[in-house]
Amino acid sequence: MSTDRRTFLKSAGAGAAVMALPASIGLTSCVPGKDKNDGQKLFIGDNIALTCTTSGMVRGYILRDIHYFLGIPYGADTSGKNRFMPPVKPEPWDDVFPAIWWGNGAPQLIEGIYSGNSRYRAFLHHANFDDLSENCLSINVFTPGINDGKKRPVLLWMHGGAWHYGISHEHDGVIGENLARCGDIVFCSINHRLGPMGFSDFSGVGLEKYADSGNVGALDLVAALEWIRDNISNFGGDPANVTIMGQSGGGGKVVTTAAMTPAKGLFGKAVSLSAADFELRDKEMTRKVGHYILKEAGLQASQTDRLQELPWRVYYDTALRAAEKYIKETGTNLSPMKVFQPQVDGRSIEYPTFYPEASPLMADIPMIISSTTNESSNAWKDSSFATMTMDGVKQELSRNYGAKAGEIADAYAKAFPDKKPYELLSMATNMFRQRAVALADAKSRQSPAVFVAWFGWQPPLFDNRLMAFHTLDQCFWFANTDVMLTHTGGGARPRALSEKMTGSLIRFMKTGDPNGGGLPSWPGYTSEKGELMFLDDICEVQFDPDREAREMLPPVL
């Protein structure tokens, strides 16, 4: 593209990073303000945003000076003979692939996410779901330049939703345009197999072809990293400088990927936000569930191939019914969906992720570990929480903590005397904070440093009862606080914190150390002191402020 044409892109967009969003939503300060070059924002055409991959040529578009490439296949269709199999490379194509819209989401259960009791949730997150299909192995790339020989740091975002739900562009706050612009980096995000389609273990049926079946959804993550290694140079990225990052289930995926033998050397840094579901399943259990699935389908072990012929939803429902029966008959303390997660199989995953010790494969990986102060609460959509008393808190806590509820409530009230009762309730039930500390304790016994953050910024929405909820921090890391308005309200206040967090993330991507990116001096974490960066309007280093209260909670693992 010519220099003259590029100057037209040096202005603020009126729309958000996702073209389908309302035109009233703006962008962050990482986008230049309006000036005399308030011209064309979008460029698409035969010779615009055109580059090659190992499978063929791809065409994207340029929006506000950032190249968008959406839905590029990094693996083949996983249906039919590829179901339960490790990912394979996509078939090469001769024509130019139109990388101008998102790829299919993985098969999952999403009925009702926009209706009924989910209407509040739909407003808050406005989840971006497209078609669901087993042809779901796709990657999105946001980059300031292509075919230019530059070696920009690369970030691979792994979406949340545990191991059974979600999509690469799940919220507008995780679109990569603004971070790519802010840091001159390359942002990638992916879809991969989930739930029973990704983690049905048939390795015990006696057929060697199914040896990896219980971990294929995690092997998809490795395949995406291999695609980055082989292709990202053409998108202006440095395959030798890759950071993996995720939130919630995505945070768990980051930790799991860091423990995967075939992922070694494909990335060098990791960021785990509010990590969930990083406990690996026992292979004895997952193999038994595989036999339960065959029984539920009315098949013998020698007929396992017939499961590949079923429509995905028929197989999905069959697998869940089998898991339910396994749980009922064995007394296993898991929900049916939670059965379908990665396991230590001695092949792609040889060690537990971190507990009680971090996997040795993580030893040379610097990490940022973060969580939010109020991960889960219904206070935002239920005004009765505003009048909750400490007695009410104790009553609610007794459901989880029994006779210890009073002690726990009093301990949190002592640690945080300025917090309202419903805020204390959310903090005292925050298992994500417990997990973050447990992970940091294990990782801190390795080198290099691990940096811990606690996000406590309170959004001015729903009469100030929304609090620092699960997923809120995502848009702050990615310079999207003026995009994800239903999370932040937008404006200068959240943007000021976002600029510091974004700068520190970019610094970490480049050096393995977030210091120098805009936050105060951020020390590495030690179990003795519990050093953390508290992220709020005023950011400061704190020393395990909830330790005494948190240690009264039952162990999370």
| In the chain, domain spans | 3-273, 366-550
**pLDDT above 70: residue 262:** yes
Of the candidates 205, 349, 218, the residue with the CA atom closest to the CA atom of residue 282: 349
Spatial separation of the C-alpha atoms in residues 531 and 547, rounded to whole Å: 11
Task: Answer positive or negative: Cα dihedral of 5, 7, 9, 13.
Answer: negative
In a 3-state reduction of DSSP, which class is residue 343? strand
User: Of 25-29, 174-178, 309-313, 462-466, which range is least confident?
Assistant: 25-29
User: Alpha carbon of 425 to those of 333, 388, 421, 539: distances in Å?
Assistant: 24, 10, 6, 23
Spatial separation of the C-alpha atoms in residues 328 and 339, rounded to whole Å: 13
**pLDDT above 50: residue 351:** yes
**pLDDT above 70: residue 541:** yes
List the beta strands (DSSP E) in 176-296: 186-190, 237-247, 269-273
**Burial readout 185-218 (b: 16 or more C-beta within 10 A, e: otherwise):** bbbbbbbbbbbbbbbbbbbbbeeeebbbbbbbbb
**pLDDT above 50: residue 344:** yes
Bond preceding residue 459 cis, omega within 30 of 0: no
Cβ neighbours of residue 399 closer than 8 Å, sequence gap 6 or more: none
pLDDT attached to residue 119:
83
Token digits of residue 441:
């304790």
Mean pLDDT of the chain: 91
Of the candidates 542, 538, 545, the residue with the CA atom closest to the CA atom of residue 522: 542
pLDDT attached to residue 128:
84
The CATH superfamily label for domain 3-273 reads Alpha/Beta hydrolase fold, catalytic domain (3.40.50.1820)
Spatial separation of the C-alpha atoms in residues 180 and 26, rounded to whole Å: 17
Are the beta carbons of 430 and 456 closer than 8 angstroms?
no
- Provide the β-strand partners of residue 497: none
**pLDDT above 60: residue 21:** no
Give me the DSSP letters along 5-62.
HHHTTSS--SS-SSTTS-TT----TTSPPP-TT----EE-STTSSEEEETTEEEE-EE
**pLDDT above 70: residue 380:** yes
Task: Supply the CATH classification number for the domain 366-550.
Answer: 3.40.50.1820
Of the candidates 547, 555, 538, 532, the residue with the CA atom closest to the CA atom of residue 449: 532
149: burial class by Cβ within 10 Å (0-12, 13-18, 19+)?
exposed
Helices (H), 60-118: none
Q: Give pTM, 2 decimals.
A: 0.93
Bond preceding residue 421 cis, omega within 30 of 0: no
pLDDT attached to residue 278:
79
User: Alpha carbon of 7 to those of 30, 65, 66, 69, 403: distances in Å?
Assistant: 16, 9, 13, 21, 66
**pLDDT above 50: residue 19:** no
293-308 confidence digits (pLDDT tens): 999 999 999 999 999 9
Which of the pair, 118 or 68, is modelled with greater confidence?
68
**How many residues comprise the chain?**
557
Backbone φ/ψ region at 464: left (φ over 0), alpha (ψ -120 to 50), beta? left
**pLDDT above 60: residue 2:** no
**pLDDT above 80: residue 97:** yes
Of the candidates 280, 285, 279, the residue with the CA atom closest to the CA atom of residue 204: 285
366-550 and 3-273 share a CATH fold: yes
Give me the DSSP letters along 388-430.
--HHHHHHHHHHHHGGGHHHHHHHHHHH-TTS-HHHHHHHHT-
pLDDT attached to residue 116:
65
Are the beta carbons of 129 and 109 closer than 8 angstroms?
no
Spatial separation of the C-alpha atoms in residues 171 and 173, rounded to whole Å: 5
State what percent of residues in the chain have pLDDT above 90. 84
